[in-house]
Structures are given as C-alpha cells and as structure tokens.
Amino acid sequence: MPADTIVSRLFEQAAQRPQAPAHVVKHRGAWEPISWQSYADEVRRAGRALIALGVKPGHTTAIIGAGRPEWVVFDMATMAAGAAPAGIYTTCSREEIRYIAHHAESRVLLLESHDQWERVAAVWDELPHLQYVVTMRGGPQATDDRVLAWEAFLARGDDVGGGELDERVAGLEMDGLATLIYTSGTTGPPKGVMLSHRNLAWTSKKVAEVVGARPDDWSLSYLPLSHVAEQLLTIYAPPTTGAAVYFAESMDKVADNLKEVQPTVVFGVPRIWEKFFAGVTARLEQAPRHRRLLIAWVRRVCSRVHDARNRGESPSLSTLAQYELANRLVLSKLKPALGLGNARECVSGAAPVQKEILEFFASLDIVIREVYGQSEDTGPTTLNLPSRTKLGSVGPPLPGVQVRIAADGEILVRGPNVFMGYFKDEEATNSTLRDGWLHSGDLGAFDHEGFLHITGRKKEIIITAGGKNISPKNIETSLKNCDLISEAVVIGDGRRYLSALITLDEEAAARYHEDGVAPHESEWIGRRVQATVDDVNRELARVEQIKRFTILPRSFSVEEGELTPTLKIKRAGVARSFSREIEAMYESDEAPRRAG
C-alpha cells in the first residue's frame, strides 16, 4: 500500500469523490469547475510525461508562473514521478532564474508567459541539467524542439504505462525529498529548503484538524505558489480535506474575484489586510452620521462577542441577541461587499500585522487569526485557533510541535514539520538544525497564557554606535498604525541614533492631496507623520526613539530589489537605493527632524 503522501491523498479523493470540484477557473466570464477525477487524471498524464522526458526519482523540476491548475498539476506530477519540484517567483530576474534552476539541477521547467520564456532562453546555455521547457495553456510558442506546449507535453506520456507511475508513487518514502522551497532571500542568495513527504502530509493534516477544515470549504488562490503558505493552502491541504480551490484571474482582479467567490477560507499577507482596512475606514469616514453611529454600536457588540469566543467562552444571551440584530442590519451586507460573506477562517501570515487592524476587523465580525512560521517548518509553527486566539500574538504552538525560547531570545522549533535541511548546503544546514532543533533566526517570547509574541529577527538587530542592541520590527509595525504610512524601515546600525525611511499609502495620501504638491512634500502629511513618530516615541526607551525620518517619493518595489517577492523588506536593498536619503539624516546634528 502506498505511503500516506499528498499524491496518494489526491488519488484517494478522486476515487471517493470523483465529480466533486477540486479546482475552479474563470473562463469566458464564468467560473468552471474541474473535478477531482479530472485533476487526478491530468496529474497521472503529466507524471507519465515526465517519465518519458527522462525524469527519474531524485531529480528535480522547476516552475515559474502565476497560480493556475497547470502549476499544481505539474507540481503534483513531479512528486508522483519521485522527483521534487522547485517554484521560482515570477518577479525573479533572469540571473535569479538561472541561479535557482542551476542550483536545483532542474531537468524540466514549466513556465507561463513570453517574458518568462525570454528570461529562461537567455540563460539556458548556462543550465547543463535543463533538457526541456514546458509552457502552460496559452503560453508562448517556440521553434525550439526542446520547448513543449502543454498538450504536447501531456501526449509525451501516452506511451508510458500507468503501472510505471503507480510503482513510483508506491515507492515514495515518507522521509524522502518531496519539494524544494527556495527562500526569497532577504539576506544573500536563496537557499533550497528541503521538505519531505512526511513534512507535507503531517503538517497539512494537523492544520486541517485544529482549524476544523471541511470538504465543503473553498478558497481563492492568488498569492505566489512559490511560497510555502500558498502551497500549503492550494496544493497540500485540498487533497487532505477535499476542499475546492478557485484560482484568481490576476492580482489586479483579486478584490473582484473575492466578491464573486465568497470563500470560506481566506489567507492574506498583512498588505492585503491593510488595503482592506484602508478601504473600509475611508468609506466609514464618508458615511452619514446616523450610519456611523450604527456602525459604532455594531463594532462594540462584535468586539464583546469575539473577546469571549477568542477566550473559549460563550457571550451572554443579551449580547448574542444584539449580535443577531447587528448581523441583520449591517454585517449581512458589509461582509459580502468585501468578499468575506462566507469567510469562516481568515488568516494573516508571512509578516507582522498591526494589532489595531485585527481589532478593527474583529469588531466587524471578521476575526483574522495570525500564524507564525517559515519555509523551514513547512509553514506553521504557532497559530491562533478558533477558541484560543489572542489578537497581537501569533498564537500557541501547533499541537505536536515543540517551541522554546533560547537564552538570547531566539525561537527554536522541533517537530514533524521541521525540514530536512538546505539542498546542497551542509554548512547552512548545520548552523540552522542543531540537535533536532530548528534555529529560526526570529526573536520571540511566550506570555503567561502560552501565546507567542514575535519581537524581532536576529539578523535585523541594530547595534548603535553606543553599543545598544535594538530590534526594529516592532517600532516599524507601530509606525504603520498611521493610515498614511505603508512601510517604515528603521535605520541606525553603527549610528548615533535611529532614523526611519517612510513610504506613503497612495490611497490614503490621495485623500489629502494638495494641488501642485507631491504627497511626500506635503506639509500637512509631514505633520501627520511627525505626530505618529512622536506618539510611537513616547512608548519607547530613549535609545529606541526615532530622531529623524524621511518620507520617500515612491514605494519600495520588488523590481528595485527592496522587497522580496512576498513583500518582505530587503534592508540591504533599501539601504542601497536610498543611501543619499539615509546619509542626509546623519549629516549634521543640526539637521531638521523631518527631511522631505
């Protein structure tokens, strides 16, 4: 009998629920389902095609493209053939593509667009292991015999017997390599995180158990599938639970697709929730006075309800009666307007989110539960649970996972979700995995109720000229409580004091537009940001206070090397792009506190 891998679970779903929807895609304006049987059949064809192209157990493939069924099929087919897929972000440069595909020794590469093909073609001569490129449906045409369109690729497997693929699936070992997740590289080149079949199977099953996932759940896939969180939600969890996945048309269409799909499970990085927050608060500010008073009452009621439920308690009967009325009058209309009318489980991860945003949404009956983890432990380390949630924390440890805090504050993790090591990097593996414990590189502390709070990252610790160690993360998160601030990066390593680079939220800044004045030069916006800095400073020790700041004329970007593909800050990239602005804040002790 085959091991309990994600691939085996897929085939079990197809056998038990063949006509139930597995994937749903938008085609000619309508959402069209793809059944579990069709999904499994295409994985089998793709698996046989990979065998025909010479992919053997232990080999790797690579995938570039936005989330869509072919991405998932190719990923699952690679695992079924005994090989390991490696995702590459669509924002990666041709040099980054070359590095990952070469490092992973990928034999076959799947891509989506003409632009991606041009980047791969430019470096193919430097990829000795790469033998074939496959294009997704509607992808670029190429005259090279080594480039196969999707249907031509599938046809390559028609002469391979199904028994050969079944043998490979049956031969999968739980502790064998299943997939490679290349870190997005906030420091240095990306490393290949090796996750085993056990890592994927155990983690997806455990998360499904603790959140109460159901076969009739459905989600909207829109984040990069190269990221471990989206892989868990879109590739590994559905075969475990039987839930369906809708694929967003594009990032630009996510808001519209959410309203159409109304998913039961919603995962978002903080920037997604911040955009929701900015949009809702802007509309509330413009509402008539009687409407604002009604919303204020609804928010008080919902806050009481969820304060109790998050502690595992039942709200009072009178509060529940008010809650039902609030739902009829406001919530039943407001939540579907956001695309969250059916949302049963809302999750935030990949970076810290402001507690105030979580409290705001909870007061509108949308409880967003933070999760903490990393690729090296298959996604989750800790998570807030439906009856055990503390807003502002990242929750208690996932059951079955051990988490402890080292003497220096570093978070250490041990459990079935912890990775095998870094691909072809024994030195990095040995420094990260010690005596079975994953040294996360993150700093944190448990409160008296067992909830973990993230306090920073070891590699981001700022050591001032005075020798003081300061974690910038919480300072930056506090600054972002201002609706005008989209990002804040604290500067100060080797400096006499701390300063900050600040970018503006375009939508919020537009509400305070002054004719002929660029937002970053607006005196009114400058005063608002200064007031925020002053408020944050009052809660900090003197050495942690921001003495000067600069409002930048543009946002940070992936293309300029200031953000990772998952929108995490790359501090070295920010320092490189804005070196002049940084130096200007330290040129003279007489310099103004704000530089425009």
Model confidence at 87: pLDDT above 80: yes
Q: How is residue 467 written in tokens?
A: 């020798």
**Start-end of H helices in 458-570:** 473-479, 506-510, 523-538
DSSP sequence for 431-460: HHEETTEEEEEEEEEE-TTS-EEEEEEGGG
- φ, ψ of residue 343 to 5 degrees: the values are -60, 115
Exposed, middle or buried: residue 183 (CB in 10 Å: 0-12, 13-18, 19+)? buried
Distance CA 172, CA 57 (A): 9
**Cβ of 343: how many Cβ atoms within 10 Å?**
21
Region for 482 from its dihedrals, namely left if φ exceeds 0, alpha if ψ lies in -120 to 50, beta otherwise = beta
What pLDDT score does 596 carry?
Answer: 41
What pLDDT score does 220 carry?
Answer: 97
Residues 344-366 have pLDDT tens digits of 999 998 778 888 899 999 999 99
What pLDDT score does 279 carry?
Answer: 85
Q: How is residue 349 written in tokens?
A: 């991860």
Whole-number average pLDDT of the chain? 91
What pLDDT score does 572 carry?
Answer: 83
Identify the band that residue 593 occupies on the pLDDT scale cut at 50, 70 and 90: very low
Q: 69-80 and 6-16 are packed helices; what angle lies between their axes, rounded to 10 degrees?
A: 110
pTM score of the predicted model: 0.85
What pLDDT score does 595 carry?
Answer: 41
Residues 392-439 have pLDDT tens digits of 999 999 999 999 999 999 999 999 999 999 999 999 999 999 999 999
Q: What order do you get walking across the sheet with 485-491 strand by strand?
A: 485-491, 498-504, 546-551, 594-595
Model confidence at 521: pLDDT above 90: no
Residues 55-67 have pLDDT tens digits of 999 999 999 999 9
Q: Structural domains in the chain?
A: 6-194 (3.40.50.980), 394-460 (2.30.38.10), 461-595 (3.30.300.30)
Model confidence at 37: pLDDT above 90: yes
Residues 155-165 have pLDDT tens digits of 999 989 879 99
Percent above pLDDT 90 for the chain: 68
Distance CA 525, CA 191 (A): 41
Residues 112-130 have pLDDT tens digits of 999 999 999 999 999 999 9
Model confidence at 589: pLDDT above 70: no
Identify the band that residue 591 occupies on the pLDDT scale cut at 50, 70 and 90: very low
What pLDDT score does 20 carry?
Answer: 97
Q: Rounded mean pLDDT of 499-505?
A: 92
**Start-end of H helices in 212-269:** 228-231, 237-241, 254-261
What pLDDT score does 540 carry?
Answer: 85
Nearest 5°: CA angle at 275, between 520 and 363? 125
Distance CA 341, CA 527 (A): 38
Check if the beta carbon of residue 88 is closer than 8 Å to that of residue 43. no
Q: How is residue 66 written in tokens?
A: 């936005």
Q: Of the given ranges (310-319, 468-477, 496-505), which has the lowest mean pLDDT? A: 468-477
What pLDDT score does 235 carry?
Answer: 98
| CA 58 to centroid of chain Cα atoms | 28
Residues 190-204 have pLDDT tens digits of 899 999 999 999 999
Distance CA 383, CA 229 (A): 13
Q: How is residue 327 written in tokens?
A: 């739902």
Distance CA 88, CA 73 (A): 16
Identify the band that residue 154 occupies on the pLDDT scale cut at 50, 70 and 90: very high
Model confidence at 186: pLDDT above 60: no
What pLDDT score does 364 carry?
Answer: 95
Half-sphere exposure of 560 (CA within 13 A, CB side): 14
Q: Rounded mean pLDDT of 268-276?
A: 85
Three-class SS state of 465: coil
E runs forming strands in 211-334: 218-221, 244-247, 265-268
What is the DSSP-derived secondary structure letter of residue 342? S
Percent above pLDDT 70 for the chain: 97
Model confidence at 512: pLDDT above 80: no
Specify the DSSP element, H or E, that contains 75.
Answer: helix 69-80
What pLDDT score does 184 carry?
Answer: 67
Distance CA 378, CA 429 (A): 16
Look at strands 485-491 and 469-470 and give their pairing.
unpaired
Identify the band that residue 496 occupies on the pLDDT scale cut at 50, 70 and 90: confident
Model confidence at 526: pLDDT above 70: yes
What pLDDT score does 557 carry?
Answer: 87
